[in-house]
Structure formats: structure tokens, C-alpha cells
Chain A
Amino acid sequence: MTAWLDSAALILLIGLAAWVVLGRNTFAAVAGFIAYGMLLGLVWVELQGIDVAMTEAAIGGGLTGALMIGAARRLKSAAPVAPATAGTLVIAIGVGAAMAAILAACVLALPNPAPSLASLVAGNIAATGVQNPITAVLLAFRSMDTLLEAVVLLLALIAVWSLAPDAEWPGRIGVPQTANPNGILAYIARVLPPIGLVIGFYIFWAGADQPGGKFQAATILAAMWLLIISAGLGKTPPVSSRWLRAGLIAGPIGFILVGAYGVASTGAFLGLPAAYAKPLIVTIEIALLPTLTLILALLIPPPLRKRAEA
């Protein structure tokens, strides 16, 4: 029964991917990509990766979708590009098919039993004080990855900012929006954020012991902030704002400070003394939350002109 469900979801997923890749209309392809992200979240549930499913639906589907819709809208008036020549198509089909075939052969030739670090995690998770194995891996066993990831996000934002035209620098990012104060957008931008804040912080807090965590929570908080901005109820801060910059570096700095404390207490960078492991993990997560929220929201291209009253 579940094999049927798995197959149906995967066939739908491949169909949607084909829609995204082969469709003629860019906007329809972007819409298909969002549906693809949501369906991929369901497939992740089937693969028993609830944490990954939440991240994929929130970031892979929702946030990337918002990014792509913004870009597609701005490029709508662009001149159409020449379609691919027959030669390019032949190469594309050849390379794509060869890639798929080689990977499929590799999948069928995977070793049995599969190598796994699951029992190592299970054997050592008690030392971290958290019960969600994903959180234990992200913030204790492989915390260096997570630190570098926070730095990568910060660098990506700096790269995006450095592409800003000179005339707009340093100022607010994007044009302040206005919306009809009695309109539906202003309504939902007032009703939803309090609910979103509660859900975001719940998912953040629950992430220590259950599926969830700072990435999923930060995405929800970022979405609420973007909603408020697009309804004109709030403005993006100027890039020179001190509190903005403090929030952006809070995560990496907090993380590095905890890492330095690890040098003093356990002799290894990012080492966590067993007695304080959980409080230190929570400290890192609290420091990362504002950083991730701000960066995820600011990476979405801001509106350049005012929207029509809605």
C-alpha cells in the first residue's frame, strides 16, 4: 500500500519537475516549482525525514518560490531570449539522460547493509541533553558545519547587498509599500503575524526534542516580517541601521563565543562540556534565530515600485 503511495507521489513529483523544466511560460514554471517544493516536502515525510520535510516546504518551496516570483515579475518585460538550437537540445538530452542513467545504475548498485552513523548518534545523544537527533547533529556533533553555514548566509547577503546600485546605497532596501488600510492584504498582515510569531517560537523551542528548530522557525518569522513589509505596515530598515547589523552578526558571534568557551572548558573549539551542553546549545540557537530571520527575509528581492492598492 505505501509502495503505491510512494510511487504515486514520486510520479507526480517527476511530472511537476518536467513542467518546471519543459514549460514555455516562465511564470507557470515558477508556480510549478512552488508546488514541486510542497510535494517534495511530502516525499520527505515518506522518507522519515520530518525535519527535512519542514525545511524543504518552508525554504525550498515557500521562500525560494517567493524569490522566484519576485524575479519573474521583474523580468516579465524583458526581451524574450532566443530558443535553444537543435544542437544544444541534442546535447542537453544526451547529457541529462546519461546523468540519470549513471545515477540510476549507482542507486541499484548500493552496498548492503548501508553504512550509517545512526547508531553512533543514538549512542551519544544523551550527552547533548537534547532529544531531537537532528538538533544534536547540527549543534553538537557537527556544529562546525552549522557555524560555517551561518557565515555562508551572511556572505550571501553581503554579496546581494554589494550588487545594489550606488545611488541607492546606503539606504532602505526596496520601496516602502502602501496598501489600502481596509484591504485584505492589510487585514491578513495584521491578523497573521501574531499567530506566526507564536508558531515560529513554538517550532524553535520544540526543536530541541521534537522535529523543528531554528531554520524552520526563522523562515516563518521571516515570512511574517515580509508580509508586514509588503502590506506597508512596516519598512525595511536602512542597511546602515545598527540594530540590523547587530542582529545579522549575533548568530556567528554567539556561535564563535560558545566555541571559544569550548576551548577553555574542554580543550576543543566548539567542544561542549557535558554538564552545560543543553544550555550552550540553546544559547547558540537563540543567537542564531535573529540572524537567520533577518538574512532569510533580506535575501528576497524587495519590491522596486509600489503595488496597486489591494
Chain B
Amino acid sequence: MLLDLWTIVLVSMGVVFFLAGTVGLLRFPDALSRLHALTKADNLGLGLVVIGLLPRLTGIADGAKMIFVWLLVMLSGACLAQLVAHLIRQSGDFKP
């Protein structure tokens, strides 16, 4: 019961971040803010979903794999955001 509550609360919080990120992606005015919205969904949203699901797993190895996936998504998300931001600045759309 307590476990269900933990999962429901944390996964819902994660979903809120995904929702906010998606809304930001669609509504924010310029490319850099849209990028900002997207990385929040990737990092925090996925992290909360992973933490919410952790107690449901049967083994330590499964949990470690899920946390590893989250870390990998954060690493690639952060690097890709920088690369895309670099392209935006080069293309001249960037207004400080």
C-alpha cells in the first residue's frame, strides 16, 4: 500500500515534468528556451519515474540498470543540448 503510494506520487511527479517539458517545447518562443524545457523533462522527469519504480524491482541488478539508463540519458541529453545550442548560435537565430 505504502509502496503503491510511493510509486504513484513519484511517477505522477515525473509525468508532470514531462508534460511541462512538452508544453514548453510547443509554446516557448525561441529555440534555446525550448531546449531548456526539453532537458528538464529528460533529467528530472525520467529520474522521478525511475525512483518511483525502483522499489517494484526484484533484484539489485535491475535497479542498478534503471539508474544507469537514467545517468546515460542525462549524459547524452546534456551533451546534445550543448551541441544543438551551438548550432543555434552559429545559425544566427540567437538573440542574447
Task: Contact check, B90 vs A308: say whether CB atoms are below 8 A apart.
Answer: yes
Complex: A191 Cα to B72 Cα, angstroms? 11
Task: Contact check, A184 vs B79: say whether CB atoms are below 8 A apart.
Answer: yes
Complex: A54 Cα to B72 Cα, angstroms? 17
Minimal Cβ-Cβ distance residue in A for B71: A195
Task: Contact check, B83 vs A184: say whether CB atoms are below 8 A apart.
Answer: yes
Residues of B within 8 A of A195 (CB): 72
Task: Contact check, A310 vs B75: say whether CB atoms are below 8 A apart.
Answer: no
Q: Of residues 147 to 204 in A, which have CB atoms within 8 Å of B's CB atoms?
A: 184-185, 187-188, 191-192, 195
Q: Of residues 195 to 223 in A, which have CB atoms within 8 Å of B's CB atoms?
A: 195
Complex: A277 Cα to B31 Cα, angstroms? 55
Proximity bits, A288-310, B CB within 8 Å = 1, else 0: 00000000000000000000101
Main secondary structure of the interface of A (DSSP, over half): helix
Task: Contact check, B83 vs A310: say whether CB atoms are below 8 A apart.
Answer: yes
Minimal Cβ-Cβ distance residue in B for A187: B79
Tell whether B33 is near chain A: CB-to-CB under 8 Å. Answer: no
Proximity bits, B60-96, A CB within 8 Å = 1, else 0: 0000000000001001100100110011001000000
Minimal Cβ-Cβ distance residue in B for A195: B72
Minimal Cβ-Cβ distance residue in B for A309: B86
Quote the shortest CB–CB distance from A178 to chain B (angstroms). Answer: 15
Task: Contact check, B83 vs A191: say whether CB atoms are below 8 A apart.
Answer: no
Proximity bits, B1-45, A CB within 8 Å = 1, else 0: 000000000000000000000000000000000000000000000
Task: Contact check, B75 vs A192: say whether CB atoms are below 8 A apart.
Answer: yes
Minimal Cβ-Cβ distance residue in A for B86: A310
Residues of B within 8 A of A184 (CB): 79, 82-83, 86
Task: Contact check, A191 vs B90: say whether CB atoms are below 8 A apart.
Answer: no
A-B contact pairs, 18 of them (CB 8 A): A184-B79, A184-B82, A184-B83, A184-B86, A185-B79, A185-B83, A187-B79, A188-B75, A188-B76, A188-B79, A191-B75, A192-B75, A192-B76, A195-B72, A308-B90, A310-B83, A310-B86, A310-B87
Interface residue ranges, A against B (CB under 8 Å): 184-185, 187-188, 191-192, 195, 308, 310
Interface residue ranges, B against A (CB under 8 Å): 72, 75-76, 79, 82-83, 86-87, 90
Additional A-B contact list (15), CB under 8 Å, known A184-B79, A187-B79, A195-B72: A184-B82, A184-B83, A184-B86, A185-B79, A185-B83, A188-B75, A188-B76, A188-B79, A191-B75, A192-B75, A192-B76, A308-B90, A310-B83, A310-B86, A310-B87
